[in-house]
Amino acid sequence: MNINKAMRKNRELHKRLSRRLAVLQECDGYRLIIDERGNCCYYSRVRFGENNNKKEYLGTYENKIVRALKEKRFIEQALIQLDRCIRKEQQLSEVQESFDAEALNASLPKAYRLSEKHLRELIGKSDAQLWQEQALKRKNELDAELGVRNPHELKHVANNGLRVRSKSEVIIANILLAFGIAFVYEMPIQVCGSWFHPDFTIYCPRTGRVIIWEHAGMLGKENYRADFAWKMDKYCKAKFVPNVNLILSFEDNNGNINAEAIVTIVKEVILDGVQE
């Protein structure tokens, strides 16, 4: 992301969260306690310095005090990170640090973690979510115009209900979903005058780049090999470069895919070397 755009976005979010924190006075002096019963969570609060025997029962997540206590903890930590990001941006540091609301939320104690809906209400949609919404809208428009290729082949289902054409594509889709990466399946694009449907079109969260992913699953078949070579020639002429804006993955001679290799590709190409 452009540093000026990142600075403006961070400052706007800092101001908005600061205003919100100022109205959460009812939370001052209290900490939140979570009680998990099966799949249900119930909350209580207790004053700082007092033991849990004096806790006040609040109920479920929907209780306004529960939501406020969660928000207060998240905002306090978010402002610390945003302050650090803004200072680095002002210094034009070569090592830029981006604010990651999802990572911050996941790092909080379980009692204070916001639901995905609550997080989005508080900080707004991420750039990746906005990109995905726009890309899906465009895909639907193009699918209506061009038609969906062999829809009967879309018989394998990923964890989010997405239908894809092969078991290998299910594995790739599920890994992308596990890492929280925004993508669109078979987004039509025009390359050197021809319409292609790359298996995955992906938004890189740390850079804002868009990458296409082609998975070659049947290179043992002569016609498939010829078609794949023709497609790669078109991609090359259109300045698609492997591991820059194009990802390629393959199956072995038995039709198997290496899931660990896919995870490595996601980390090193899409997430730019992120570690566990």
Beta strands in 125-265 (DSSP E): 156-157, 163-164, 183-185, 189-191, 194-196, 200-203, 210-216, 246-250
Domain boundary among 94, 124, 154: 124
- Note the pLDDT of residue 275: 43
Q: What is the DSSP letter of 124?
A: -
- Note the pLDDT of residue 241: 93
Whole-angstrom distance, CA of residue 251 vs CA of residue 246:
17
- Note the pLDDT of residue 272: 74
Domain boundary among 124, 159, 174: 124
- Both 191 and 256 in a single domain? yes
- Both 42 and 175 in a single domain? no
The torsion of the CA quartet 252, 255, 258, 262, rounded to 10 degrees, works out to 100
Summarised one tens digit per residue, pLDDT across range 154-181 is 999 999 999 999 999 999 999 999 888 9
Instruction: Give me the residues paired with residue 210 across strands.
Output: 203
The torsion of the CA quartet 114, 117, 123, 126, rounded to 10 degrees, works out to 120
Whole-angstrom distance, CA of residue 100 vs CA of residue 156:
32
- Both 50 and 149 in a single domain? no
- Note the pLDDT of residue 100: 84
- Both 7 and 98 in a single domain? yes
Flag whether the pTM goes above 0.85: no
The answer to whether position 53 is within a domain reads: yes
Whole-angstrom distance, CA of residue 266 vs CA of residue 263:
5
- Note the pLDDT of residue 3: 56
The answer to whether position 275 is within a domain reads: no
- Both 118 and 204 in a single domain? no
The answer to whether position 91 is within a domain reads: yes
- Note the pLDDT of residue 4: 65
- Note the pLDDT of residue 102: 86
- Both 218 and 117 in a single domain? no
- Largest pairwise CA distance in the chain: 74
Overall domain count for the chain: 2
Whole-angstrom distance, CA of residue 249 vs CA of residue 125:
31
Name the strand (E) or helix (H) holding 264: helix 259-265
Domain that holds residue 179: 128-270
Domain boundary among 124, 143, 178: 124
- Both 171 and 149 in a single domain? yes
- Both 109 and 155 in a single domain? no
| Nearest alpha-carbon partner for 45 in 66, 25, 26, 24 | 66
- Note the pLDDT of residue 207: 77
Question: Which regions of the chain are under pLDDT 50?
Answer: 1, 94-95, 274-276
The answer to whether position 87 is within a domain reads: yes
- Both 196 and 218 in a single domain? yes
The answer to whether position 28 is within a domain reads: yes
The answer to whether position 276 is within a domain reads: no
- Both 105 and 177 in a single domain? no
The CATH number that applies at residue 233 is 3.40.1350
- Both 119 and 132 in a single domain? no
Q: Which residue has the tokens 């803004």?
A: 86
